[in-house]
Amino acid sequence: MTVPDAVLALADVSKRYDGHVALDQVSIEVTKGECLALIGESGSGKTTLLRCFNRLTTPDAGTVAFEGADVAGLDPIALRRRIGYVPQEGGLLPHWRVGRNVELVPWLQGLDDRRVRARHALDLVGLDPGTYAERWPRELSGGQRQRVAVARALAADPEVVLLDEPFGALDAITRADLQASFDSMRRELGLTCVLVTHDLHEALALADRVAVLRGGRVEQSASADELRRAPATEYVRTLLHRARISDA
């Protein structure tokens, strides 16, 4: 079944690595302007699933569609301009200054205004380009580096952003700060987002909908409220209990 206004859609996607199942017949859709959180333990298939959307992973079976078109038939570079990506470790090139890192995707596109775009993207994530564009990644705090990673994902003005545990390695205060600015920014820009996290609190706070992955399968995909109210499986119930989320 396909939702008519789905921006991203995976249907029956499976992926194995040397016989090991990473994704097992996953179907999932993301509608325009929605933030979907993918939550699950380490090894549950979150990163593999996320990377199916921008063709960094090729499924063994099933289809992946972006705005109704099978991504297998789309030019990967053009696709990655329209789908911003924040990789799990941020992915900044250490020997490139901040500004050049942020310009990467517009530069790959051959866009003349890449410098303007990069400055605008830095502004969006709350970093003054005058102060930060000339710095090296190593001259930034962990939180600032993550902001730059998000700026880089936004610089080509994408419709969709994929974020792989973007706030994972930060201290609690920095994390809360980044979560809040991400939340207001994605609403303001009307971005469609897929946010990978292993923190159920983060998923419930930031996402409209949450998909719980376990061993490459989706245990439940539901609104944050519904997940809290009506966990579909014992595993989801256990997750809620462990996170001390009460109504389960």
Binding residues for Mg ion, per CB under 5 A? 46-47
CB atoms under 10 Å from CB of 172, counted, come to: 7
- Alpha-carbon distance of 9 to 143, in angstroms, equals 31
9-38 positions binding ligand ADP, by CB under 6 A: 17, 20, 22
Binding region for ligand ADP (CB under 6 A) out of 44-52, 58-66, 91-99, 125-133: 44-52
Q: Report in angstroms how near the CB of residue 30 gets to ligand ADP at its nearest.
A: 18
* Residue 82: both structure tokens together: 């329209």
- Alpha-carbon distance of 129 to 71, in angstroms, equals 34
DSSP character string of 137-168: GGGS-HHHHHHHHHHHHHTT--SEEEEESTTT
Q: Report in angstroms how near the CB of residue 38 gets to ligand ADP at its nearest.
A: 8
User: Is residue 48 within 8 Å of 23, Cβ to Cβ?
Assistant: yes
> Of Mg ion, ligand ADP, none, which one does residue 221 interact with (CB within 5 to 8 Å by kind)?
none
Q: Report in angstroms how near the CB of residue 22 gets to ligand ADP at its nearest.
A: 3
Q: Is 104 helix (H, G, I), strand (E, B) or coil?
A: helix
User: Is residue 115 within 8 Å of 99, Cβ to Cβ?
Assistant: yes
CB closer to Mg ion, 151 vs 163: 163
Binding mask 146-185 for ligand ADP (x = CB under 6 A): ----------------------------------------
Q: Which of 25, 31, 32, 43 binds ligand ADP (CB under 6 A)?
A: 43
Q: Which of 44, 54, 101, 192 binds ligand ADP (CB under 6 A)?
A: 44
> Of ligand ADP, Mg ion, none, which one does residue 33 interact with (CB within 5 to 8 Å by kind)?
none
Binding region for ligand ADP (CB under 6 A) out of 2-10, 46-54, 187-195, 222-230: 46-54
Q: Report in angstroms how near the CB of residue 167 gets to ligand ADP at its nearest.
A: 15
Decide: is 42 part of the binding site for ligand ADP (CB under 6 A).
yes
Closest CA to 15 of 41, 54, 47: 47
* Residue 151: both structure tokens together: 């700026």
Q: Is 216 helix (H, G, I), strand (E, B) or coil?
A: coil
Closest CA to 53 of 70, 39, 40: 70
Q: Which residues contribute to the site for ligand ADP (CB under 6 A)?
A: 17, 20, 22, 40, 42-48
